[in-house]
Amino acid sequence: MTTLTRQAVVQQTPLKPRKLIGVLIGGSGLIGGTLAHYFKTQTPDTIELRAPSSKKLSIRNAGDIRDYFKRVRPNFVINTAIAPIDADGQLSFEVNYLGALNLARATAALEIPYIHISSAATLPNGENLTEEDQLPLSGSLNNYAKSKLMTEKTLRHMHRTAGLDYTSIRLGVVYGEHDHKIQGFHRLFFSIADESMPVLFTKKGVIHSYSSSNKLPYFVHHILKNRREFSGETYHFVDKDPVELANLILTIKSYLELKTPREIYVPYPLATAGKKFLEILLKVFSRIGLKGSLPAELLFLESFYKSQTLSSLKLRQSSFVDPMPEESIYARLPALVIYYLTRWGHQNLITTWNSEMILSSSRDDDFRANPEELLHSIHMDSTSPFRELHPLDP
């Protein structure tokens, strides 16, 4: 083949587009894990999403971020990391605020998009709240809300003064599979399944906005591809219709075929008094060596008695097309029930639910009753080395 022919062949061969590299912070959580799974399965040829652990990259350490980003040179960053909801002031400040600030400074320097996952905790109670609404920043706010609110304000400031290309996504009550920490909505679900909620700690008519973790990756991918429209903006990513808390609790109860919680509404003053009593009791126990803690979600006990709904109008008027318009907490509930009851049952966390709701496989039955027979069958046909991993013949 002549040199001219080789050049012609090279010119006719289409160049493979360069794969983008993204960095995901907080990949072990519900939101982060869902995002990591989406980009791994949906965009393997175009986007490589790296999710370094806190041992490899601590966002509380600006030096870690500078060194890691110098090596990786990412094309975008997604931050889903949060400190525990009930963390003290120092940890909340360092992870939720200082970590987000360090990432913003790095992405501004690299001139790359920064996607920040925020929370409805930055908003007051009320209905049909817009993206322009915010709580006033004050020392009386709990550590979680305060740190998330400070982050929103700083990102907006850096967009104006440093050209930061960011998008902030506020979530409501998040639901979805793979929440390994049992928090938020899944803590509520667990309390019902474990029959540890005898009555309703809310009142009739209290409604909240819910966010699907399964749909969020599609939105993140879309805004990464449409930076001109979404840069410097905040969006409420919530289902169109809000949900009444009491009705949701009673619906879960009916799915699980349980007798509790009974439809008795505990007044807010009585609920707060009970919470304070338990806090005092736990302090007494701690003095004799017994450790215990209340669920972190009780930090937001007031929210169980007051409505907060986020307007999704701005999202619906954007170029984003909902890939699952029928998705809602109620539509997702049957799958969530099966997934979490199976998981919690395997972990021996709950034993009170009706096991007939979940169909066990024949292998599960054999493992419980006939392990020797199961072992023999596996030895017969399931122990050969993986053929695909054999060394290639020279």
Q: Which domains does the chain have, with CATH numbers?
A: 18-349 (3.40.50.720)
pLDDT tens for each residue of 88-99:
889 989 999 999
Read off the pLDDT band of 15 (50, 70, 90).
Answer: low
Tokens encoding 261: 């919680």
Three-state DSSP string of 277-328 = HHHHHHHHHHCCCCCCCCCHHHHHHHHHCCCEEECCHHHHCCCCCCCCCCCC
**CA separation for the pair 274, 268 (Å, rounded):** 10
pLDDT surpasses 60 at 8: no
pLDDT surpasses 90 at 277: no
pLDDT surpasses 80 at 392: no
SS3 199: coil
pLDDT of residue 53: 85
Mean pLDDT of 105-126: 95
Give whole-number Cα distances, 155 to 63, 115, 150, 161, 166, in Å. Answer: 20, 11, 9, 10, 7
Proportion of the chain above pLDDT 90, given as a percent:
49
pLDDT of residue 384: 67
Q: Which of 200 and 284 is assigned the larger pLDDT? A: 200
Mean pLDDT of 120-131: 95
Mean pLDDT of 239-260: 90
Indicate the pTM of the whole model. 0.82
pLDDT of residue 122: 95
Closest CA to 268 of 125, 139, 85: 125
Helix (H) or strand (E) holding 378: helix 371-381
Tokens encoding 364: 């599960």
Mean pLDDT of 175-184: 76
What is the sign of the dihedral through the CA atoms of 67, 71, 73 and 74? negative
Q: Which of 20 and 11 is assigned the larger pLDDT? A: 20
pLDDT tens for each residue of 336-364:
888 888 877 777 777 655 555 554 555 55
pLDDT of residue 171: 96
Mean pLDDT (the chain, rounded): 83
Read off the pLDDT band of 368 (50, 70, 90).
Answer: low
Read off the pLDDT band of 45 (50, 70, 90).
Answer: confident
Q: Which of 6-15, 48-57, 125-134, 197-206 has the lowest mean pLDDT?
A: 6-15
pLDDT of residue 272: 76
Mean pLDDT of 17-41: 90
Tokens encoding 72: 């990786």
Q: Which of 12-16, 226-230, 331-335 has the lowest mean pLDDT?
A: 12-16
pLDDT of residue 273: 78
pLDDT of residue 270: 80
pLDDT surpasses 80 at 285: no
pLDDT tens for each residue of 209-245:
999 999 999 999 999 999 999 999 999 999 999 999 9
CA Rg value for the chain: 25
User: Rounded to 5 degrees, what angle do the CA atoms 169, 170, 174 make?
Assistant: 110
Give whole-number Cα distances, 312 to 60, 123, 235, 243, in Å. Answer: 33, 14, 8, 14
pLDDT of residue 282: 58
pLDDT tens for each residue of 301-323:
778 889 999 999 999 999 999 99
